[in-house]
Chain A
Amino acid sequence: MRLDLRNLALSLPGAPSSRDQVARFLRQALNEELAAKLDSQRQQIVTVTGCDLLSRYGLPLQPFFQVASERVMVVLAVEPHSLTTSRASQLPDYVIVSPLATYEYLRNAVGDSATVNVEEVAQ
């Protein structure tokens, strides 16, 4: 099963500016989506993309831990730098771009033993 959080965000019942409210909407939508799409009796792998939304809004990973089991594996995929260098150069000086922010957020949340960095593996 593929789950793109950016697509999921399009279905939210509004576009609030409050971080708390976005996080609440996202968490609720995520729980509903996982409950609707996952069959706990089958072996399944859930590949999640758009994970920068998790770090952007500080979403806990509890919804994923709740569905992960001996039958369901959840893979949180972090795309290579979502903000390119060219776009970063257009930002004002007081904005610091941290291309690894999403990766670090997820790594801190799930722990090193559950993290695979393909660039490190390739070296």
Chain B
Amino acid sequence: MTRRPLRDLIVPKAAPDLTPSLVRAFRQQAETMVETYIFTDTIRGYFEQTIFDAVARGQGQGFWVQAEYGAGKTHFLTVLSALLSDTSQALWSRIQDEDIRQAHRRLGGARLFPVVLSLRGEGAGDGTFERSLLDVLLEAGFQPALEAAGLDGQVRITPADDIVAWLEEQASPALRQDAYTFVQGRTEKSVETYRELEGTSALAGLLTEYFKQANIRPNIHVSVKERLAHIYRQLTDPTGPAYTGLLVVIDEYEGWSKGHSSPEEQTRDAEILETLAYLLPRDLGLQVYTVVASQSDIPTKLRGSQGGDRFIPLPLLVQVNERDYDVIIARRVRGIDPERVPEVEQLYDNYRQHFGFCPQPHARRVSGHVPLPAALF
């Protein structure tokens, strides 16, 4: 019996985007990525039993996705972010994996506000303009996320926003007028004009000077924990945006960490990640889910006293699950013509007759790998 040529057995798929940028992929290609994403057994377990489980229980948690370059971190993060921030049937019905699609019910009415950012390129080229991880999180994470959600100006994220708001909403009319006069005297512009031209941050700087001079201390959330909790409460306000929780996804942490490797910087960054992943959920009961992707392992300071209680490790393509790569590639680049499955098995039988090292195949695994060499099975 003659065997059919491979081109008759397989159906080539469109070339995927191999180097997606997380933020762009999340904003512009989420539907396609959800539709084409390959859930291996390992990844299915991470999604279903680890992450969805935490969300279903309403307990905030940190997750640390560790993988080498090219292992699919960005695809993983894009699909995860999309599914957790949009639980509509329209999106979830696109998922190819039946088990994951079924997990939809467990998430109930979860509606997480997605703050998705990549730290790649966020470090400054010199120390003069260096920003902290919190600065980047607020400016490159929260701010664009609010704009994308149509909430720009409705949620105050920086201390500068709060200083200006405090003056406008809580200060006495006399104090407010005095502060306006101070700004006018220093800039020869009205507060509105100055803010429009120079921004909220510059105006808050001037107001801070005024407060010092007038010996006034506005009640502003200053610590990392207070600031993030303050943002969370605005986003989950039932009379406002009414999200049920917050999803913070940070890609490319390794590069950032290498550029901020002094003990002080490491401590400061660890404090922010610990606040997001541990303190806000445990101390304040906030539903904050933090996913950090890095090529390196979880920093010691974030391991916690009990392994993984700050961040649950989710390694991709390492040791026990390194064969996932074969599965992903085989399934992502081609499909099997369903009418040709018998011929696929025939092809494998031929391999097995000629190569003694071929194991007894599992039918699903054979069709999952053809036409890759049988040795990969």
Contact = CB atoms under 8 A, between A and B. Distances in A.
Chains A and B come from one and the same complex: yes
Interface in B15-69: 17-21, 23-24
A65 B124 contact: no
B20 A69 contact: yes
Contacts, number: 79
Contacts of B23: 66
B121 A65 contact: yes
Given A18-B198, A18-B202, A21-B201, A65 B125 contact: no
A61 B201 contact: no
B129 interface: yes
Interface stretch (A2-10, A42-50, A82-90, A105-113): A105-113
Contacts of A63: 121
A18 B125 contact: no
Nearest to A65: B121
Contacts of A67: 21, 24
Contacts of B322: none
Contacts of B18: 69-70
A65 B128 contact: no
B202 A20 contact: yes
A66 B202 contact: no
Given A62-B121, A65-B120, A70-B18, A104 B126 contact: yes
Contacts of A21: 197-199, 201-202
Contacts of A105: 124-126
Contacts of B17: 40, 69-70
B11 to A, nearest CB: 22
B10 to A, nearest CB: 23
B198 A16 contact: yes
B118 A104 contact: no
Chain B interface residue number, banded: 20 to 34
B126 A20 contact: no
Interface residues of A, number: 29
B255 to A, nearest CB: 9
Contacts of B126: 55, 58, 104-105, 108
Contacts of A17: 198
Given A62-B121, A109-B123, A16 B197 contact: yes
Given A62-B140, A69-B19, A70-B18, A109 B197 contact: no
B266 to A, nearest CB: 19
Nearest to B139: A24
Contact of B19 (A14, A20, A70, A109): A70
B118 A60 contact: no
Interface string A90-109: 00000000000000111111
Contacts of A14: 196-197
B99 interface: no
B122 interface: yes
A95 to B, nearest CB: 15
Contacts of A68: 19, 21
A62 B118 contact: yes
Contacts of B20: 69
B118 A108 contact: no
Nearest to B187: A17
Contacts of A24: 199
Contact of A16 (B120, B122, B124, B199): B199
A12 to B, nearest CB: 11
A95 B190 CA distance: 33
Contact of B201 (A20, A58, A60, A64): A20
Interface of B: 17-21, 23-24, 118, 120-126, 128-129, 131, 140, 196-199, 201-202
9 contacts: A16-B199, A20-B202, A24-B199, A60-B124, A62-B122, A66-B21, A66-B118, A66-B121, A105-B126
Interface of A: 14, 16-18, 20-21, 24, 40, 54-55, 57-58, 60-70, 104-109
Given A16-B198, A108-B125, 11 more contacts: A14-B197, A16-B199, A18-B199, A58-B128, A58-B129, A62-B121, A65-B118, A66-B121, A67-B24, A104-B125, A108-B126
Cβ-closest 4 pairs across A and B = A58-B129, A105-B125, A65-B121, A62-B121
